[in-house]
Structure 1
Amino acid sequence: MTALISDKELETLKTAAEMLRAAEMRLPVLRTISWDRSLADAFFESGEREPPQPAYKKIDPDPSLELVFQARALIDGDSEAHQWLKRFADITEETALLLSVVGTSMFHGHSRALYGGPTSPIADGKSTALDLALRLDQLLTDFDAPAHKLEPPLSLSAENLKARLDRALPDHFGKAAPRVDVTQNVSAKAAAGRDYIKLRQDALFSEADEVQLLQHEALVHIATGMNGAAQPHFPVLGEAFPGNARTQEGLAVFAEFISGSLDPRRFKRLADRVIAIDMSANGADFLELYQFFREQSEFDAPFEAFESARRVVRGGLVNGGGPCTKDSIYLQGLLEVHNYLRAAIRTGDAAFIRLLFVGKIDLEDLNAMRFLRDAGLLAEPEYMPPWAKDLRYLLSYLAYSTFLNEIDLKSVSARYDALFSE
């Protein structure tokens, strides 16, 4: 064993990690705060006048908190691996507290502690997700109609899309390809889990949706989960939890972006959800949020507006003042992952990009992952998207965008003032 960590300490850390994994497994955040499809049906049957009244399963936090207490007693050290597990313990404790107050006014505070919020500093420590969302909304609103005309038609049924994904997934995963299920009891058009993708039976999809699901759900979320679960010493890296959600979602949205499947209207929808979270935190209720989403795009179906409003208030307060802040992490994560990739390119070492796929990690965990890799305790990722395997395009794009970012856009724009003023 390398001198970086002794055999005895490795076994201790593995025991602590398994305790934290067991604690986290008792805390399924998204499943606990999900809504049954019947709530949407009832809302539309009421003529869109009666706000939904979700009921949530109560979670007893004590068993998880006890496991966290026991794990902390074992994490006695200051290496990067110890720091990683200490952060994992802190987040698991916060997650337990979050689920103990689902459906109350206290939910919002714990949500901000876990995911941050629209006004939390990101990237440079000065910008916020809300700043980016407002800017994107301003830029993309005028393109809503043109973007709608350019979108591929919703010509695929759920069964059609399932057949296409069933053919495509084995090319990337071989015999480990995730299954694709068609079901009615799913709120969004599509959702993914550890080894499956669910498609809503009555939804229609486009060819762009196929690429987006493949890139976002399969080649990031499912792939990092499989890579992490296959780690010989720390299979906890296969688990999704609030502590790695920001980077995982940011990486998934970047995968859409670099593969050309992040269309302007979806990008705007991500921005609008951040704005809506801020509205809810300031008192907007479900009906106001629903109307906001209806007004943001005349081309979205009413159900899509319901779904966006649902995501904002799930687990918190339907009548305003207590949103779930998770959806603010998509733009946060995208900005931070993109900046990390730009910085990693400067090193000229592709290993720093592969490090993102060893499991479900946060950017804060990268030092720990390098520590474990250098100690010979981390396996290389087996499943990665093509753009991360063959780095030629990514290298060219990031090298160019890094230089482009150093150019003063105000000076460039000044050359065209007369043209734009017309």
Structure 2
Amino acid sequence: MKKIKLALMTVFLSTMVMAQVDSSQIEAEEAKIDSESAKAEANESKRRAEEEKKKRDQIQGEAKSLSEKYKKIEQQSKEQQAESEKQSQQFKKEQDEAQGQIKKTDEEIARTQKRIQEIKDKTAKAKEEKEKMVEQKKETDKVLKKYQDDAKDAEKEQHKADQESEKTKVETVALQKEQRINEQKLAKSKQDTEKAKAQLASNKLKMEQEKSKTENELKKINAEIEKNSSTIKDLEKELKQVTEQSEKAQSEAKKAKGDLEKATSQREDLKKKTEQAKKEFQENTRNLEKENAKLHQEQSALKAENDQQAVIVRNQEEVLKKLTGEQAKLKEDIDRVKKDRDQKSARNKELETKTQEDKIKIETLTSELETEKTKLETEKIKNDALEAKNKENKAQIDEKQDALKKTKKKK
């Protein structure tokens, strides 16, 4: 601007020297120079104002862009923080669920171990009871053997009584007196023998249902009965012969009668004892069979229960194995979730750091924007002053031009 003024002044002075005009022309030229100078200053102010406006618009655009970027970063930060909080809550929820599942699994394992221990105790108790049953069975076998031995002794006594009876019958052959009484006695003896035979046959049928040991003894008894039957038949034949000689033996009949009655009484007593022993033996045998059946039933039930307990133990072991696997899987899931949480926590820290850096940048840019705004306001004030000065200069120029026109009209 100073250079322009200097150039104009130089031109003005040259014009004054060369043309040698009067003072009015000089004033007119000065006014013209001032007008051109004011116009040049106005153009320069306008140019500076346009540049300042462009700069201001650029700064406002940058500030707006930075503001939008800051808002976007702030929104992303909020979203990341919300996502992080959501993931943290989800992780806490999953962790609580995992801890609850682990606690539940531990309780189930404890219950399973307790059940297994109860099954082991029950199995040991059942084994102990089984051993007791085995001992009871041994005792029962001993008692059964004792009854079998007693039965054999009773059969021996019966055989001995039969021998004595045969001896008595042989002695009866010599009897000659009281033939009818002897025949009646013999008939009664025969009847008793038949009854004994029928009873022994019935006993034989019952004894066939017993164990193999008692069957052998019944066969012996039946053989003895058959032998007795054969002997009775022989005695009947001999009795027929004795009848013919009975008259000769009357004197000895009384003595023989007494001996026969005594032998018969002994035989009846022995027979009763034998029958009683057989009944007791049969009753004891039935009781033993019932006891054995009961023991077998209890043994089968115990075996079934042991098998069932074994199945339960296997099932519990499988459940325990499954629960252990699930617990390991839960621990792996917990480790995985913890690792994911740590990664997300580190990522959140990075985002927080970046957010802080962006905030600092935005604050810096905001400060710069405020500074530029202040500068813009200052330039605006200057521009307003220049515009006022320009208006003032324009008014002066107009005034001088009017004066110049008036001067020219006077001339």
Quickly name the TM-score band, shorter chain normalised: under 0.3
Length-normalised TM-score, structure 2: 0.18
1 or 2, which has the higher helix percentage?
A: 2
**Does 1 or 2 have the higher relative contact order (CA < 8 Å, sep 6+)?**
2
Q: TM-score, normalised by structure 1?
A: 0.17
Query: Which has the higher Rg, Structure 1 or Structure 2?
Result: 2
